[in-house]
Amino acid sequence: MYDASRTADEGAGITHQIDLRRLRRPSLFRDQSSRWQSFVDRGAVVVGIVAPLSTVPQIVQIYSSRSAEDLNLGTWGLFVAFGLFWLLYGAVHRSLPLILTNALWLICYGAVIFGAVVYR
């Protein structure tokens, strides 16, 4: 069987070990990568808090007009189902951005569905 981590000099029968960990990326990018990852992680938490707020105008419209005739409950029900899946996925992987985002989405979806049921 061929081992990609080893090479052989056929003439002399010499085997060389290659350290594959050194081939991953040059040390020049390690510090930049960790800073970039930290930036993206913080951004994910911020977006996880702000993005669910995009449903607030819909919630305000439903409750202020006391009307939800034009809403399709099936669509919002699917949003809840998908949100529950992603919340479970985030919990299994212990991902704070996924847990936070989907918990907030589910609260907002719940407010829309509750208003749609009450004001239909």
* 61: Cα separation from own chain's centroid: 28
Burial class (CB in 10 A: 0-12, 13-18, 19+), 14: exposed
Q: Which residue range is the domain that position 74 belongs to?
A: 25-118
For the chain, give the percent of residues with pLDDT over 90. 60
Tell me how far apart the alpha carbons of residues 120 and 113 are, in angstroms, rounded to a whole number.
Answer: 10
Q: Read out DSSP for 22-39?
A: GGS--GGGHHHHHHHHHH
Domain containing residue 82: CATH number: 1.20.1280.290
pLDDT at 64: 96
Count of structural domains within the chain: 1
pLDDT at 41 over 80: yes
59 C-beta neighbours (distance < 10 Å), count: 17
Higher pLDDT, 95 or 19: 95
Residue 72 lies in a domain: yes
In a domain, 69, yes or no: yes
Does the residue 95 lie in any domain? yes
Has residue 5 been placed in a domain? Answer: no
List, for residues 63-104, the tens digit of each pLDDT value. Answer: 999 999 999 999 999 999 999 999 999 999 999 889 989 999
Q: Is residue 2 part of a domain?
A: no
Nearest to 83 by CA among 31, 35, 34, 48: 48
What pLDDT does residue 93 have?
A: 96
pLDDT at 18 over 90: no
Record the pTM: 0.68
